[in-house]
Amino acid sequence: MTVTLVQMDIAWGDAKTNRETAEKAILSAEKSDLYVLPEMWNTGFDIEPEGIAECLFPQEDGEKENKGSETLLWMQRMADKLDAAVAGSIAVRLPDGSYRNRLYFVTPGTTPNLPPRKEAFRCQSPSLLGGEAEGGGWYDKHHLFTYGGEHLHYTPGNERVTVEWRGVRFRLSTCYDLRFPLWLRYRGDYDALICVASWPSVRMLAWRVLLQARAIENQCYVLGVNRVGSDLACQYSGGTAFVNPYGEMTACPEGEAAVLTQTIDMEHLRTFRRKFPVLEEAD
């Protein structure tokens, strides 16, 4: 499977501009089966979602008609156009008024613009996924970044989510989750870990080490996608990387927008796990 990781600068709170930036980056890359964008790639990481979170459901909002998440619809159009999956997290508002930092994995042929009061996506909720599903799905960030106050405004997800796409099982995770190995521990349920992030420059050593650690301890591929640029609080230098099951890393150039296209070799992964069966002896 061919995957492309998109390391992009993000215009603060400007979803339209960010969609255009992401589309140019994706179309500039090699043809892939999966394209992965950073955490809150359409707005920048904002701990206060009011005003930036997208409503998933068509509704009347005062005098303004809300037709649903424009960003999710864009992800769907791109998936259909490219015959590929598109993944990335966005801030969303649910009908009960709660906010989620939701990582979507959108596949061709799904239909996000369903009628009001129904989830704006074809796939089941994580509780119905049973840990894995063929095609698209979503994951709500479990470990909210309390140091920055994310927990004061967002509701955490409580489900491990794995999606299967073209023969590869992807475990979904977001930023701060990367620091929690028990949450991401392989349970016989995935081949590659996706971690989308807004990880600041001051903690880049931790980012690189943790990406490699998660790959080595779980004998899996790791796709770590981070942004560049700056927002109101932090500087970001990227570090977007593809890590193989041995912990060997290939990364985007530091500090600049870039795309990175690599290959997940499932036969190689199966052979490695079979010849060196560390996972069978896990605690």
- Whether 118 is catalytic is no
Catalytic residue among 123, 175, 195, 252: 175
Work out the end-to-end distance of the chain between its first and last CA atoms, rounded to an integer number of angstroms.
31
- Whether 252 is catalytic is no
Burial class (CB in 10 A: 0-12, 13-18, 19+), 215: buried
Catalytic residue among 54, 141, 150, 195: 141
Report how far Cα 258 is from the mean position of its chain's Cα atoms. Answer: 17
- Whether 81 is catalytic is no
At residue 103, what is the residue type?
Answer: L
Catalytic residue among 39, 123, 195, 252: 39
Catalytic residues: 39, 141, 175
